[in-house]
Amino acid sequence: MPNDRKINSTAACISFMLEGCEMKKVRSNSRMYSRFFVLDPDMRFLRWEPSKKDSEKAKIEIKSVKEVRVGKKTPVLRSNGLSDQFPDECAFSILYGDNYESLDLVATSADVVNAWVMGLRYLVSYGKHTLEAPEAGHPSLRTSWISSVFDLADLEKAGRIPVSRAVQLIKALNPGMKASTIELKFKELQKASERPGGEVACDLFVEAYCELCTRPEIFFLMVQFSSNKEYLGLKDLMIFLEVEQGMEGVTEEMCLEIIGKYEPSKEGREKGYMAIDGFTRYLLSSDCSIFDPQHRKVCQDMAQPLSHYYISSAHSACLLEDNFWGSSDISGYVSALRTGCRSLELVVWDGPDGEPVVYAGRSTTSRVPFRTVVGVIDQYAFEASDYPLILCLAVRCSPPQQRLMAQYMKKSLGAKLYLDPPDPEEAYLPSPERLKNKILIKGKKLPPNCHDSEGDVTDEDESLELSRRLGEDDKEQPEGGGLRRLRLSRELSELVSLCQSVTFRDFEASRRGQCYWEVCSFSEVEAGRFANECPEELVGYNKRFLSRIYPSAIRIDASNMNPQDFWKCGCQMVAMNYQTPGLMMDLNAAWFRQNGGCGYVLRPSIMREEVSYFSANAKDSLPGVPAQLLHLKIISGQNLPKPKGSGAKGEVVEPYVCAEIHGIPADCAEHRTKTALQSGDNPVFDESLEFQINLPELAVLRFVVLDDDYIGDEFIAQYTIPFECLQTGYRHVPLQALTGEPLPNATLFVHVAITDRRGGGRGHKRGLSVRKGRRVREYTSTKATGIKAIDEVFRTATQPLREATDLRENVQNALVSFKELCGLTPAANMKQCILTVATWLLHSEGAPTVTLNLGEQYPAMEAQGPIPELLRKVLTAYETMIQTSRTLIESADAVYSKLIQAQQAGMDFHKELHRLEAKEGLKGRKLQKALESFAWNITVLKGQADLLKQAKAEALDNLWQIHNAGQSCGIGRNGSASPEPSRVRTPLEPIPETEGGSDVASC
């Protein structure tokens, strides 16, 4: 298909099919033959030539077509011999005839596929009513609306308007489109119609609008769901929202509301129709955002101890530039607090006139009075978040000025200061909920036996490193490199309660003697060494204690460390240079958006539970944590700007998209699309990418758009989003500049599917990504601790663990088989499967009668009379899926109880563990191994029990979807009672992806 040919209507598709084109026909022996395919002028038959067959046999009657499938969705196209020879988007299949035979085709491009698929689907569903060309005679809903817009602009009622007005009109209706692009289109059309001049008539305006403002990828999408192929009716829109966008509880009223909000034509709004322009507006709107709206407000449990949260933390927030010559300014604190930062560092020095000052750079001309900083904090502390703010004091000033600091804080912050002494009876810090609207001071505290107005404390925190970096003369440094001493006033000491700064010695000393209200600070280098050498111990330490990580002293340019390196070990406060944009700040900013931007994010449960096994450096899936698959389709880009530093280039960019996953090392990955050559501002990529995510709760997805033909700067745009905030379905990604500001009207159009994922208002999408023949099923098992009594308890769980795996994987395999036979991907939901089967039956004359008996708890799919082979396989796969689901639902509770009993029996040994280890004589590495095995077993048992419980809920949900779809598509009977009560609606953890089990029959 020529690149400049716009397919923006079904008429254009059918016109293209009438001309015909060459495609490859794939046979069952995996051989491909080039053939010329064409639609007959009477639009009754699809023919191909040359062919060894009689010309009357080398054709398909349109009315015999049951379904048109896009991608490699039949056994012939899925065969190993062909699978890698052409991309998925270039393949499609036509299922036809009473025996559901398939004609499998490979086109030269996705555009050609889309034109044939759209045209064929139109003729199949609409063509039997009329075989006249679509749009013949009466104007379409869209054409009428565009004409009415023209009439309003035709102030003189002359039937013509100035080109400049026409340009402004189209630009107003499509923000982001360049005036030069619109002007060029008018010139082209005027030249083609031999009507040059400074004015345009209505027909030319309509033509220009349709060519400029129709995005083919959205038009093709609309046609897939449209009953008449020109607009979406209420039923069409409901199916799109439920099936593709994963929305639940969709009603006709909701759809009317969406149409009323986005459909531009009055006729469409009145009749409940949404044409291409309204559909495009809806997909671009915030109502269709890729960011799950549930996460725009606080949505996590805020009643856990403070140490169970990541806390948004700033380092040197007063600096405007680098750490060396950067000037200090109060606006840095304002900006950080307004973006939800909950931990600020204040480096306080002796100032002139006895007034303490705050600065972190070497510039002496921009030091900010401490009292001014405190006043700003008082004003903005709780503007963006009600949750506690932690002020980290790095005190470099003398006791007299420290007393002034204390007075200013008491006077300005008053009741906001949290001054209650910690309760020694407690074991953990209070929760963010309990500490709402409170300011905690992190700093040094005088020892209890010091009763003077001031005393000595050690000074080992980042303030000492800061002094060295700024070249301060450290005369008090003791010989031999011991810890420096600092004079501390009692008034300042008394303001420190829950965040007392102490020196970290080692993990064993912390286990034995550190109090829960004591906080250690680690340099980036020291924390990095722990994260690499003993990540399990660092995770264990952070379950109970707060840790603050500050940047290395060598980062004098104020560059940022990667916060993920420390989040993966549970470190709560990773201090970032907010003034320095780039990848690391993108990750930090995105991460803290997932809980309403409140500055606190709950850590994964596997990193919080008292007994759990987690290694941040795991190379594969984690025990008890379900791995998930992210299927991303990068479809197109809109209004992409030129890279900022590429002034020497022409107007055209040649973009490509990188999708990056940041998380634990096992999840970090990057895939890129091909480059869209000479594509202007609106490139089409149409490329599918896939990622396995082993710890979804810690993963972040980043889209980066880059220019492949750049001079100077290649960066075009980015957008970063936590994995947990992704909404599935067709979404536009709102692109941002390197500094994080939104780029007006610049977006990526993508499709997101997540398999083995539940909840959050999304569709329930599960399944395997691939099935590659017979596999040996892998069972999760417990590990020996070397302590006989404990090992005997865990051994009782061996059989229930196998049963739990079998129950889940049997259902999973049956689901995948059923979906494949329906011509759908594993990411499809059950409603899509039932609607697909119903569509086959509705498009057939004299079709076999297939009904769903909705009067039963487990609905049977029953056929009357002879049925073709494919449909028989579908019914068999459906029956297998229902039977395995029934076994799971009816057996899950008993197996779950056995797993939980074993887990609780194991936990009963937890407090006795050290005594039992000593009795068995375990020391050193053997002791460490026993502790790890014990934690592993507890994690595995709880994880597998939870997964089984979730699998049961998923199976019940599938039954609900079958019932719902059976009623809505008309193949259900005895369906008066809905199984709604059995549908579990509580938020659930995801189900893990597995690849075990014997291969089930596929079509």
Position 280, amino acid: T
- Give the pLDDT confidence score for residue 121 in this predicted structure: 81
Report phi then psi at 983, rounded to 5: -80, 120
CA end-to-end distance (rounded Å), the chain: 32
Q: What is the CATH number of domain 148-288?
A: 1.10.238.10
Helix 788-795 × helix 869-907 angle, to 10°: 150
- Give the pLDDT confidence score for residue 646 in this predicted structure: 54
Distances (CA, A) of 155 to 144, 151, 152, 518, 693: 18, 8, 7, 75, 58
On whether the CB atoms of residues 774 and 917 are closer than 8 A, the answer is no
- Give the pLDDT confidence score for residue 975 in this predicted structure: 60
- Give the pLDDT confidence score for residue 552 in this predicted structure: 82
Residue given tokens 């969406």 in the structure block: 258
Domain with CATH 2.60.40.150 in the chain: 628-645+652-757
Domain with CATH 2.30.29.30 in the chain: 10-127
Strands 860-864 and 742-755: unpaired
Angle at alpha carbon of residue 193, lines to 188 and 196, rounded to 5°? 70
On whether the CB atoms of residues 700 and 678 are closer than 8 A, the answer is no
Name the residue among 722, 733, 721 with its Cα closest to residue 696. Answer: 722
CA 713 to chain centre: 28
CB burial string 532-554: b at 16+ within 10 A, e below:
eeebbbbbbbbbbbbbbbbbebe
Q: How far apart are CA 790 and CA 647, in angstroms?
A: 70
* Range 607-612, long-range pairs (CB < 8 A, 24+ positions): 607/539, 607/542, 607/543, 607/570, 608/304, 608/308, 608/543, 609/939, 609/942, 610/543, 610/910, 611/907, 611/910, 611/934, 611/935, 611/938, 611/939, 612/935, 612/938, 612/939
Which CATH fold topology does 306-464+485-607 show? TIM Barrel (3.20.20)
On whether the CB atoms of residues 391 and 441 are closer than 8 A, the answer is yes
Q: What is the mean pLDDT of each run of 10 residues along the chain (1003 residues)?
A: 52 86 87 90 88 76 86 80 76 87 89 86 64 47 90 87 92 90 88 83 91 86 78 89 84 94 93 93 94 94 95 78 52 89 91 84 68 93 94 91 94 93 91 95 89 81 54 48 77 92 88 90 90 87 92 80 91 90 91 95 89 76 79 92 65 86 90 82 85 91 88 85 94 92 93 65 33 58 84 89 90 88 80 81 63 85 79 89 94 92 86 73 73 85 88 90 81 60 37 33 31
Q: What is the dihedral of CA 278, 280, 281, 287, to 10 degrees?
A: 110
Q: How far apart are CA 148 and CA 492, in angstroms?
A: 72
- Give the pLDDT confidence score for residue 254 in this predicted structure: 94
pTM of the model: 0.83
- Give the pLDDT confidence score for residue 222 in this predicted structure: 87
CATH class of 10-127: mainly beta
Q: How far apart are CA 315 and CA 153, in angstroms?
A: 56
Structure tokens belonging to residue 443: 């700093």
Longest Cα–Cα distance of the chain, Å, equals: 108
Q: How far apart are CA 33 and CA 46, in angstroms?
A: 17
Structure tokens belonging to residue 526: 């020291």
Q: How far apart are CA 587 and CA 942, in angstroms?
A: 31
* Cis ω for the linkage preceding 196 (within 30 of 0): no
- Give the pLDDT confidence score for residue 825 in this predicted structure: 76
Report phi then psi at 472, rounded to 5: -70, 140
- Give the pLDDT confidence score for residue 832 in this predicted structure: 80
- Give the pLDDT confidence score for residue 215 in this predicted structure: 87
Domain with CATH 3.20.20.190 in the chain: 306-464+485-607
On whether the CB atoms of residues 90 and 32 are closer than 8 A, the answer is no
On whether the CB atoms of residues 921 and 930 are closer than 8 A, the answer is no
DSSP for 670-698 reads EEEPPP-TT-TTS-EEEEEEEEEES-GGG
Q: How far apart are CA 494 and CA 490, in angstroms?
A: 6
CATH class of 628-645+652-757: mainly beta
